[in-house]
Structure 1
Amino acid sequence: MTTLEQVRAEVEAVYRRDSRRILATLIRLLGDFDLAEEAMHDAFFIAVERWQREGIPDKPRAWLVSTGRFKAIDALRRRARFNRSQADLIMLIEGQGQDPSEEELLADDRLRLIFTCCHPALAADAQVPLTLREVCDLTTEQIARAFLQSPATIAQRIVRAKAKIRDARIPYQVPELHELPERLDSVLRVIYLVFNEGYSASAGEALLQQALSDEAIRLGRLLVQLLPDPEAVGLLALMLLQASRQHARSDVEGNLVLLDQQDRSLWDRGQISEGCELVRLALGSRAFGAYTLQAAIAAVHAEAATAEDTDWAEIVGLYDVLQRHWPSAVVALNRAVALARRDGAQAGLAEVEAILAAGELRDYHLAHAARAELHQQLGNLEEARKAWQQALALTQQAPERRHIEKRIQALE
C-alpha cells in the first residue's frame, strides 16, 4: 500500500508537470472550460485517496483525464434530473473517444486549445490573456504584469472570452490550413509570452520557470510542423537562442547575472546552432517579420565569443529595421540601450528619456533601470539613484530586486 506522503508527492508532481495538458484534454472531451476545470480538480482530489489504496497508476495523466471525465458526466446526470437540456450534452460527451492516452502529433490538445482561445470571433485583446490563463495556468496578476494592465481588466476579458466560446459554440480544433494564417499572429504572441514568463518570471523568488519556457519551445516546434511559416520558424529560433543562455543567467545563489558578465561556456551550443540555422532559413524566405528580426539580434549576441566582441553596430541596424516596420516602445527602449553601446551613454540616455517622457513605459521597471544605468555611467549619481529606486518600486521578481538593491547600496 502506497503511503499518503508518497501519493501526495506524486500528485503534486503530476499537477506541476501535466495539469495544463489534462485540462486541455478535458476541455476537448467536455466542451466547457469551467466544467473541465472543476472535473480536473475533482480528479486530483480523488487521486489522493484512490492511489493510496490502489497504488499509483502506470499512466497517471490518462487516469486523471478518465476520472475527471466520468466525474463530470456524473455531475451532469444529477443536473439533468432538473434540466432536461443536459441530456443531449451527456450523450455527446459519452460519445467522445475514451482513450485519453492517444495523442496526434500535429493536433496536440494544448495546440487545439491555443487556436480555440485565438479564434477570430473573440476580442483581440482577450485572446492572449485567455490562452495564458487556460493553457499555462498563469494567474491574472502575472498576465496583467505582462500586458502592463490591471488584474481586474484582464479578469474581465477572460470571463467575457469564455462566455463567447460557450455561447457561440466555437469549435475546439486546429483550423484548416487555409484558415491558419489569419490566426497565426495571436498564436505566435501567446507562445512568446509564455516563453518570456518562463525565461524571466514576472514575479516570485525564482528568475526562471523553465517548465514554461520548455513548454513554449515544444509548442513552437509543433506549430512549425503544422505550419512552417517564416515567422513561426523565426519565433522558434528566437526562443532557442534566448533559452541557450538560461543556465548562465543566475549564479549558484539565484542572483541575476547580466549578459556581459555571463560565463559563455555555460551557453547551450546545440540550441545556438539550431537557432542560428533557423534564423538563416527564415531570413532567406524574404517573408519574415518581427520575431525573425529579434532572433537575428539574439544570434549576433550568441555568436560573439566575448561581450567585447559583440557587433553593436549590426544590432542597432537590426533594431532600426524592426522599429521602422514593427514599432513599439519596448523595441525603442532596446534600441536605445544598443545605441548607448555603439555611440556612448549620452546618446542612449537621450533616447531613453524621450521614451519615458512619452509615458507608455513609465510603469516598466526595465526602462527606469536603463535610465539609471546610463546616468550612472555618465557620473550623474543622484539621478541614477532616483531611477534605480523607481525601478525597484516597480519590480516584483526577487532576483531583480536584489540586483537593483545592490546597485543602490553601491551608490550610497
Structure 2
Amino acid sequence: MNAEVLSSPRLTDADALIADMGARARAAAKQLAVASTAAKAAALKSAAGQLRAQAAAILDANALDMEAGHEGGLTAAMLDRLRLDEDRLSAIADAVDAVAKLADPVGQEIDHAVRPNGMALSRIRVPLGVVGIIYESRPNVTADAAALGLMSGNAVILRGGSEAVRSNRAIHAAFAAGLVTSGLPADAVQLVPTQDRAAVGALLRAQGLIDIIIPRGGKGLVARVQDEARVPVLAHLDGINHLYIDGAADPDKAVGLAVNAKMRRTGVCGATETILIDRAYAAPLAIIDALIAAGCEVRGDTDIAALSPHVTPASTNDWDCEYLDAIVSIALVDSLTGALAHIDAHSSRHTDAIVTEDKAAAERFLAEVDSAIVMHNASTQFADGGEFGLGAEIGIATGRLHARGPVALEGLTTYKWLVRGAGQVRP
C-alpha cells in the first residue's frame, strides 16, 4: 500500500492496514528485544534532539489542531490537554531524555533459586512485544509512549485522536527521524495514518500481532476497547479522585492541598473531583472560600450549601463525575469511617488522599482505601509517572492486572523463566 492510500479518509481495508503495521512492528520488536541499553538510550537522545530541532513545525501543527478544536467546540479541559507551547514541548523532549537515563528493565533478574537437584532457576524481565496505544487529545502521549516502548524493548503502534492528528504526526515524524539516525528500526514506533474509526476496531482484533492494548481517553473510548478487544487490555479509567480533610488536619495544609489538588490543572486525571470534610474539622468555610476565590465552582451537599450562598447544591450524579474542569463537589462526612464508605462507593480507584496530623488515621486510610495511588498530606496532582521518578508514563492503570498506578518501563515488561541444568532428568 502506498502512503496516499493509507492516508485516505475513505480507507476501508483497515484490517489489512493493521496487519501490515503489526507484522512490521513484530519484526522491529525482535530487534528491540535484543538491543543494548546503550543503543536504546542513544536512539532516545537522538529522538529528543529531533523534537527540539523540529519544534517550529510541531508547534505550527498544534496551532492548526487548536484552531480546529475551537471551531469544533472542544471543552476548555480538552483544549488544555491538546495545547502545546514552547515550555510544554521542551518538557516533552526532556521526558524522552529522562527515559534514556532510566535503568533498563529488560534482562533484569527478578529472583533466583537453586533446586535440590542442582537446577538453577531465575526469572528475568522481557518485553511484552507489540503494544497498541489508543489515546485522545494529548499529543505528549505520542512521545511518552514511543520513548517508554522503545526503552522497554517493545514496538508500539499509536492511534491518536482526530483532535490532535496534526500534532501527533509532527511529533511522530521527529521521533522516527531520531530512530533512523541512530540505527534502530523506524517500524519500532508507528502511527496509524488514518483517522478512520475502523482502524481502532482492527487494532482491537489483531490477535497474534498486538500483545496488549492500552487505551487513554474518556469513558466512551475505554468502554469500547474493553467491550471489543480480543487482545489483553491495560485500562486507564476515570480519575474520580477524593481529598479527605480529617478532623485532625492542619488548616493551612488543608486549604493549600485542596486548592492545588483541584485547581493546579483541572484537565488532568490526577485532579481532585470530590472533597470530603470531617464534621470535626473546625474550618470548612475557609476551604470553600479559597476554592471559590481560585475560580472554582463548588457543588455541595445540604450541609456544605448551608455554609455559603456561593455553593450550588450537588446532584446525585456529582459524586460520580470526573469534571476535568474548575468544578468540585464537597460533602461533610461523619468521621474517617464515613469518608472511607463514601470513597468505596464513588472512587474510580485512581487516586485518593487524606489530610491529617493523626498518624493512626493516616495509616488506616492508606491501608483501607483500595485505589492504585493512596496519599497522605500530598496533592493528588502528584499522580504522575514523572513525579514518581518513572521518567514518563504510558497511563495510570486502575485495575489489578497486569500493572497498577503509573505504568512506565517495568509495567511494559513481563517475565520468563530461565532453567540451567546439568543433564537432570525427572524421575
The structure with the greater share of residues assigned to helix is 1
Task: Normalising by structure 2, report the TM-score.
Answer: 0.25
The structure with the greater share of residues assigned to strand is 2
